[in-house]
């Protein structure tokens, strides 16, 4: 790995390939693989990640919002793209870019039928989400009759899949809850198929579902965080490689005398003579203020350097008193060894929040 010369997020495509192949090895050959590339591919780079996953053999992509799908189409992505949370204001953009919306309640179902009918479309692919316990988005089982009635009144749309989302697939202490969700979904799916007269694809499993509930792989699985190197457990983390390394450099070293303060609001007051390093990365880059005052750390020459004082917009200061280093040396915020998950835990949050928050102003480089 090259040493950083500036703040940079390195994306290791070889690690992405490893994670994709590991997750694929957990499913049957005829089970499709949907790669979740929402939120800038979990903070990396959606265009490059999607291009590579398309090359590797993914079958579907998913994004959260229509604008993300539009960007992928502009980048040359040709695979089907499921929009997980479409809004009626974006229905025209969805259709213009051949994106496939998740229709999750009566309002969006009716409005999408209205738009597709006005455009004289035929069998436009849509997906229906059913709520089985997450209580976030989705129809419930009592809606099946009214959904089917509306679908039979129009030829403008056709259901490509019905799906649901596991609420606690990573927590085996909640296995009974997950199994109840799976059984509920099976009942919903069978009732829907019997009523509509054809079988759409069925999918329910996220990354932890892929790993923990093979009986629920159905026709397709969806993976987000696993592709980026996190398995939501110590055991599964050993089989995956974090694809992103966030690095920066030491801009300046200071000697701070006993009683001196560091940073805004004098949040840190030294109780001894120490050395600090200032790094060109801050909360505008995705390192939130919760990581200040000793809660987070960076790694310099193999040693942990705690973040002291308040995180600034463009800079952080770290304690390097016992570290042999100099201005210009590399500082690792997180990588495959000093993981984003470990850093996030110091601020009582999760890897998802940390990696998806990396600002677009941070330079991305790709290791192929």
CA–CA separation, 79 and 291 (whole Å): 39
DSSP collapsed to 3 states, 276-333: EEEECCCCCCCCCHHHCCCCCEEEECCEEEEEECCCCCCCEEEECCCCCCCCCCEEEE
CB 7 within 8 Å of CB 248: yes
Q: Report the C-alpha gap between 210 and 216 in whole angstroms.
A: 8
Question: Measured between alpha carbons, how far is 140 from 257 in angstroms, rounded to an integer?
Answer: 63
Angle, nearest 10°, between helix axes 175-196 and 144-152?
Answer: 30
Q: Is 264 an annotated catalytic residue?
A: yes
> Which residue out of 17, 114, 264, 304 is catalytically annotated?
264
CA-CA distance, 37 to 289, in Å (whole number)? 27
CB 235 within 8 A of CB 199: no
Q: What does the DSSP 8-state code read for residue 169?
A: T
Treating both helix axes as pointing N-terminal to C-terminal, what angle do 46-56 and 66-74 enclose, rounded to 10 degrees? 70
Q: How would you classify residue 294: left for phi > 0, otherwise alpha for psi between -120 and 50, otherwise beta?
A: left
Active site residue 124: no
Structure tokens at 77: 């992505």
Residue 32 CA to residue 28 CA, distance in Å, equals 9
Alpha helices in the chain (DSSP H): 13-24, 38-43, 46-56, 66-74, 91-96, 106-118, 144-152, 175-196, 207-212, 234-237, 340-346, 351-356
Is residue 92 within 8 Å of 76, Cβ to Cβ? no
Q: Tell me which of 38, 60, 124, 247 is the catalytic residue.
A: 38
Active site residues: 38, 264
């Amino acid at each position: 790995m090259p040493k950083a010369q500036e703040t940079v997020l390195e994306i290791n495509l070889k690690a992405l390939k490893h994670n994709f192949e590991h997750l694929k090895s957990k499913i049957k050959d005829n089970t499709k693989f949907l790669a979740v590339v929402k939120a800038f591919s979990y903070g990396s780079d959606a265009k490059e990640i999607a291009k590579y996953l398309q090359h590797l053999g993914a079958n579907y992509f998913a994004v959260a919002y229509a604008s993300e799908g539009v960007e992928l189409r502009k980048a040359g992505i040709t695979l089907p793209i499921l929009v997980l949370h479409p809004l009626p204001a974006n229905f025209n953009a969805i259709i213009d870019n051949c994106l496939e919306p998740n229709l999750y309640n009566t309002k969006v179902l009716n409005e999408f039928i209205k738009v597709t009918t006005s455009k004289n479309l035929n069998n436009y692919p849509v997906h229906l989400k059913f709520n089985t316990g997450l209580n976030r988005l989705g129809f419930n089982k009592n809606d099946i009759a009214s959904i089917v009635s509306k679908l039979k009144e129009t030829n403008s749309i056709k259901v490509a899949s019905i799906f649901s989302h596991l609420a606690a697939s990573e927590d085996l202490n909640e296995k009974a809850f997950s199994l109840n969700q799976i059984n509920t979904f099976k009942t919903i799916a069978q009732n829907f198929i019997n009523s509509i007269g054809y079988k759409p694809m069925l999918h329910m499993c996220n990354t932890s579902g892929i790993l923990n509930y093979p009986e629920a792989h159905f026709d397709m699985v969806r993976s987000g965080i696993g592709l980026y190197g996190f398995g939501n457990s110590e055991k599964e983390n050993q089989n995956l490689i974090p694809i992103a390394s966030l690095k920066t450099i030491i801009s300046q070293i200071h000697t701070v005398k006993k009683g001196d303060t560091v940073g805004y609001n004098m949040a840190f007051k030294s109780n001894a003579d120490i050395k600090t390093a200032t790094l060109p990365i801050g909360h505008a880059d995705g390192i939130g203020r919760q990581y200040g005052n000793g809660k987070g750390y960076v790694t310099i020459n193999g040693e942990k350097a705690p973040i002291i004082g308040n995180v600034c917009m463009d800079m952080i200061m770290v304690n390097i008193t016992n570290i042999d280093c100099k201005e210009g040396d590399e500082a690792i915020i997180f990588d495959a060894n000093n993981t984003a998950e470990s850093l996030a835990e110091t601020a009582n949050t999760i890897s998802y929040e940390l990696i998806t928050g990396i600002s677009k102003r941070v330079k991305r480089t790709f290791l192929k």
